[in-house]
Amino acid sequence: MQQLTPQLLKNVLNIAQQAGEHLKHFYAKSVEIQIKADKTPVTEADLFVSQFLIEQLQQLAPDIPVLSEECCKIPLAERAKWQQYWIIDPLDGTQQFIDRTDQFSVMIALVSEHRPILGVIHAPILAKTYYAMDGEGAFVVENGEVIPLSPICKKLAESDRLQITIGTSSSQRIRQVVSHRYDIDFIKYGSSSLKAGLVAEGKADCYVRFGDTGEWDTAAAEVLLREVGGQIFDRQFQPLTYNQRETLVNPHFVMVGNKQIDWRAIFQFS
């Protein structure tokens, strides 16, 4: 079993930085785009960085398998034997990459006994990196400065009209499930991982996702949010699972920065 150490985290951060440099190289030129079976785009950048990350992580820890969004056709019967594994998204926000918004990232997480315990989210064009390790706190590095992320104790404003800030890609469906007592400020921003970062920083109260994602889209965010007192839950207010189902597609979910808030009173999914 791979033990969590400062050196391991340093090595993973270094690998993420190198992957980010590769993404910058592809971002500076025209890339080839294909459409996958699930109708989502994939570029040569996704595929190159996926292979790079797999090779680097296997060198770092030869006994730990790597599960990548671009290399995930592994049946549960085989995956079920894994006590630990790396789960990676070489380019979280491929559409953002194609649209040239700068708001995309590399994501690396280490999962142990079905629980993410180390997570790195690196946005190379934004020069911003989020990272967290189980029990060691969460941090953001911005323009070279390392900033600890404090546990989020923010309470939603108590007044006749309550206020909530939600990160999202689509606001219309979300209005239908939020209690009418709340006025909503929507933040439309970047890839899933970067919206998770906004929640971890306290810039958004939550991020709501009604649409398909993979376990690689949320694993690093699980560690980040847990370390600031947040969580991720599905529409039944249950936690997400890792490597416990044949499918790797997540249910629709909500990421929150403060799990002490009564989110069942806010989101009326039924």
> Annotated binding site for Mg(2+): which residue ranges?
69, 89, 91-92, 217
Going by C-beta distance under 8 Å and a sequence separation of 6 or more, which residues neighbour residue 264? Answer: 237
Name residues whose C-beta falls within 8 Å of residue 12's C-beta, 6 or more positions apart in sequence.
Answer: 60, 108, 110, 118, 120, 131
- Show binding-site residues for substrate: 69, 91-94, 217
The CA distances from residue 244 to 201, 221, 223, in Å, are 30, 18, 18
Could you tell me which of 59, 84, 107, 67 has the C-alpha nearest to residue 4? 84
Which amino acids are annotated as binding site, given as ranges? 69, 89, 91-94, 217
Closest CA to 269 of 162, 173, 172: 173
Total residue count of the chain as it appears in this document: 270
The contacts of residue 173 (CB under 8 Å, 6+ apart) are 210
